[in-house]
Amino acid sequence: MTNAEAASGRPVVLVVMDGVGVGTGDEYDAVHTARTPTLDGLREEGVYREIFGSGTHVGLSSDSDMGNSEVGHNTMGAGRIIPQGAKRVDDAVTNGEIWEGAWRDVVAQASQDGAQLHLIGLLSDGNVHSSWEHLVLLLEHAKADGVSRLRVHGLFDGRDVEDRTAHRYVADLEAKLAELTEGTDLDWRIASGGGRMVTTMDRYEANWGVVEQGWKAHVQGTARPFGSADEAITTMREETPGISDQLLGAFTVVDGDGEAVGPVRDGDAVVIFNFRGDRAIELTRAFVEGDGFTGFDRGDWPDVLFAGMTLYDGDTNMPPVRLVQPPLIEDTVSEVIARAGLRQLAASETQKYGHMTYFWNGNRSDPFDPATETYIDIPSDQVEFDQRPWMKSAETVDYVIEALQEGGYTFLRSNLAGGDMVGHTGNFESTVIAVEAVDLAIGRLARQVKAAGGCLVVTADHGNSEDMVERDKSGAPRTDDDGRPLWKTAHSTNLVPLHVVDYSGQDWRAVEGVEAPGLSNLAATLLTLLGLQVPDDYRPSLVEPAG
């Protein structure tokens, strides 16, 4: 019997544990601290290995770049290493592509009498949603190209960089603006801002109110007024000691008369300098969609030239104008499976729904074959994630179990979001609960996969919850002046686990000698388990028949 014959006819079930990497096992490792009998058992029961989920292994610029959910799912679905995020824009900068086409139109619009250029995005050098270097380059080219009036609307990170550092990024930005405008009559200022989780950067329509707060701050200039961005940060930190940068409220910078210094007006040019799409798409829609827009009441929204850093949604061509064209990812694993006529299920709660669909499919939202693919979106709770750290792990697995029991599906994929979303809060105890909820859900699912005679694959898209403390260069935990841990809210560069347990009777073993095994090897691994032909340009499978 061939491998294809042995593997065919039974379901392969993939679970992506979002943000659950392989840590040091110390007291700040929430995965190690959590009670995880299912994951412990799977490790002993089947093939287990640790693989790369960050840096150049997922198409980012350097191996110091943390992995993230977007590039992780892109890479898993693609089966190859695709230039991603900052690397894609870096390449466009290197070859000069970014300064052609749309950038020229933006400059021409902003150079008209009375017009302004607005740059909106995350002030961060985490290289997950945006790049500090990209912002600096935009500013330098705006000066060289004669833009006289420019406003920056900066969002604060606290997730992909060290938390409570927003004031440093503001100080650096103010210094850069001063450097570029010294001795000139250029009118350049910071005009508004706010923390990314409460201002502008919602995703998957989980909470349009977040975008509305950004609209009031950036566009209308009606958010809470402050004389400067630094004053806003200082005041809000005094009001709520210990507040995370990501939760700082929306604000508008005003002049001595209380007037907003940089609202968006008719005839202006607006650029979102975030390169990652999931948290940029809703503000994009607010700018470019017409009367059919229903996200929130925009009031009399301004008529502007709007551009994104790159394409945020390929199916809707959003935004229509962008500075950098996205990578084309064809022959993703689900496209290969769809061509084989096999039924597929994708299930996730809203916070990660786009990752299991759009990013997994190579930046495509729609199914390849609607007749054989089912997408399930479980609405996420609209509360701070550490208040309900179990999130929708149980409900997500409920849908997968129901589909298994129904029968007919050959490939079923899902995402359990707790390890990432709760890990981002910096609440260690809640993150432990989140990981335990993920483990419990996988345990329930594993029993059903076994009953169906299927194959269970469990991995993660990047690390987070396994490393919950800021560390110095030696790796030692950092503490504040009172000796308390400085809790970390960012992703990590740690390896991620890969479990393969086949309950059909087919034995598998790890393939030896694969160079730098990583998320890009998952697609070939899945196709091998399904008994399907692996495309020639895929990175190799990490498992092979044991006999």
Q: List the binding residues.
A: 18, 69, 129, 159-160, 196, 203, 276-279, 352, 420, 424, 461-462, 491
3-state secondary structure 390-442: CCCHHHHHHHHHHHHHHCCEEEEEEEECHHHHCHHHCCHHHHHHHHHHHHHHH
- φ/ψ of 100, rounded to 5, equals -100, 165
Q: Provide the β-strand partners of residue 13.
A: 412, 456
Segment (H or E) for 47: strand 47-51
With a CB cutoff of 8 Å and minimum separation 6, the contacts of 497 are 17, 20, 21, 22, 39, 43, 48, 49, 50, 51, 458, 459, 460
The CA distance from 176 to 173, in Å, is 5
Q: Tell me the CA distances in angstroms from 443 to 113, 439, 448, 513, one per residue in order.
A: 64, 6, 9, 31
Radius of gyration of the chain (CA): 24
Q: Provide the β-strand partners of residue 307.
A: 271
Asked if the peptide bond before residue 11 counts as cis, ω within 30 degrees of 0, the response is: no
412 in Cβ contact with 11 (< 8 Å):
yes
- Count of alpha carbons within 13 angstroms of residue 318, beta-carbon side: 21
69 has catalytic annotation: yes
Helix (H, G, I), strand (E, B) or coil at 155: strand
Residue that the structure tokens 């507040």 belong to: 243
Helix residue spans in 118-240 (DSSP H)? 132-144, 166-181, 208-214, 229-239
Active-site residue identified among 54, 62, 64, 69: 69
Return the structure tokens found at 530. Answer: 């399904």
Binding-site positions for Mn(2+): 18, 69, 420, 424, 461-462, 491
- φ/ψ of 60, rounded to 5, equals -85, 175
Binding-site positions for substrate: 129, 159-160, 196, 203, 276-279, 352
Return the structure tokens found at 258. Answer: 């209380």
How are beta strands 322-324 and 343-349 bridged, if at all?
Answer: unpaired
The pairs formed by 98-101 with CB atoms below 8 angstroms and a separation of 24 or more are: 98/323, 98/324, 99/141, 101/323
Nearest residue to 50 (alpha-carbon basis) of 516, 424, 465? 516
354 in Cβ contact with 206 (< 8 Å):
no
Residue type, 439: D
The CA distance from 282 to 271, in Å, is 14
Cα-based angle 311, 71, 48 (whole degrees, multiple of 5): 160
Residue that the structure tokens 């870096």 belong to: 90
Active site residues: 69
